[in-house]
Amino acid sequence: MPNASGNDEEIRMTFTALQVTEPSQGRFQMDLVQRTLDELPAGEVLIRVRYSSLNFKDALSASGNRGVTRSYPHTPGIDAAGVVEQSSVAEFSAGDEVIVTGYDLGMNTAGGFGQYIRVPAVWVIKRPRELSLRESMILGTAGLTAALCVDKLEQAGLAPDAGPVLVTGATGGVGSIAVALLARLGYAVTAVTGKADRAGFLRSLGATEVIDRQGLQAGGERPLLKEQWAGAVDTVGGDILFNAVKGLRRGGSLACCGLTAGTEFQGNVLPFILRGVNLLGVDSVEIPLVVKASMWDKLSVQWKIDLSALVREVSLGELAGEIERILQGQQVGRVLVDLG
């Protein structure tokens, strides 16, 4: 185990990490490699990672998306939960169980797909008492984002008796947790998916209605659609996002947090000036640590949900196949990464 001595034996200690490289022909490649602690970036807290999770941003980093990761070789993984091994700040001590999500982790800083990370202390929060390390990574950035969406909608006035709430991309990580969380809080949830064979899965999470993605894509040329939803969580972006906006009830709100269907959409002002609806942006990456901590506290107690039905557990060695799956739009629920 690493200690505070900084001796040569510690520096040479190796650990396993998934590393993405760009060979000369330009095709990105994923391999398990052995790294040493001295190859990690500077930071006040060294953490032995026990669990991580797979997110769409991780897949983008692993496939060479320069908008996510600027230089390679690189270890992705925007989520990590583990045990502090070393700390140079008073807030953390060896043995503390902690969570790190977002900021630059897994983007341009070696991330949670390695057995060790070293990060600034301002990125780290202690694990809430009622949430295990494993549970925290079943949630991960996806759960944090879903919670932030629901919190923003409720701050904008949404309540369970206001009417149904739409969730797009409902079989994905954020979407599936949003469905389960909203149902747990008493909302009637309409889940949108392009995977017709997953309707039973979505209903098991608490969805009261499941609609096909193509149905939501229809009517894109119309400035307004029938008022249907009191609120919405959109995880995909693109024109689906604005069709959901056009179908909001008067005074309704949509929380926007994803871009798998694109970063642009065709829009108009009529839903805003005729129905007074709200389009709410949700960021889970650079928000203040105190906000993240408050959401983790909610997810550990009053918003705690059983996510055992939507998680699959894999090892680092199985990650490459899972990354291909999420890039092809085939991931369902959450993929938990056990780093041993």
Domains of the chain: 8-127+308-338 (3.90.180.10), 142-281 (3.40.50.720)
**Which band of pLDDT confidence, cut at 50, 70 and 90, is reported for residue 13?**
confident
- Measured from the Cβ of residue 200, the count of other Cβ atoms closer than 10 Å reads 9
pLDDT value of position 139: 98
Do 50 and 81 form a contact (C-beta atoms < 8 A)? yes
Average confidence (pLDDT) over 67-89: 97
Q: What is the pLDDT of residue 112?
A: 98
How sure is the predictor about 3, in pLDDT bands with cuts at 50, 70 and 90? very low
For residue range 22-62, list pLDDT tens digits in order: 876 767 899 999 999 999 999 999 999 999 999 999 999 99
Question: Over the stretch 259-292, which tens digit does the pLDDT of each residue have?
Answer: 888 889 889 999 999 999 999 999 999 999 999 9
Q: Are 278 and 153 in contact (CB under 8 A)?
A: no
Mean predicted lDDT score pLDDT of the chain: 93
Residue 7 has pLDDT above 60, yes or no: no
CA atoms of 235 and 238, how far apart (whole Å): 10
Q: Which residue has the higher pLDDT, 234 or 266?
A: 234
Report whether 112 contacts 80 (CB < 8 A).
yes
Predicted pLDDT at 9: 55
> pLDDT per residue over 281-326, tens digit each?
999 999 999 999 999 999 999 999 999 989 999 999 999 999 999 9
- Is the pLDDT score of 6 beyond 70? no
pLDDT at position 2 is 44
Predicted confidence (pLDDT) at residue 128 exceeds the cutoff of 60:
yes
Query: What integer is the mean pLDDT of 78-103?
Result: 98
Dihedral Cα 287, 290, 296, 299, nearest 10 deg? -90
What Å distances lie between residue 275 and 88, 164, 190, 227, 278, CA to CA? Answer: 53, 17, 21, 9, 9
Specify the pLDDT at position 183.
98
Q: What percent of the chain has pLDDT over 90?
A: 86
| Chain centre to alpha carbon of residue 332 | 13
Confidence of residue 118 (pLDDT cuts 50, 70, 90): very high
Is the model's pLDDT at 10 over the cut of 80? Answer: no
Stretch 153-163: mean pLDDT: 97
Give the mean pLDDT of 7-23. Answer: 80
Taking residues 155-164, report their average pLDDT: 97
Among 141, 183, 61, 139, which Cα is nearest to 308's? 139
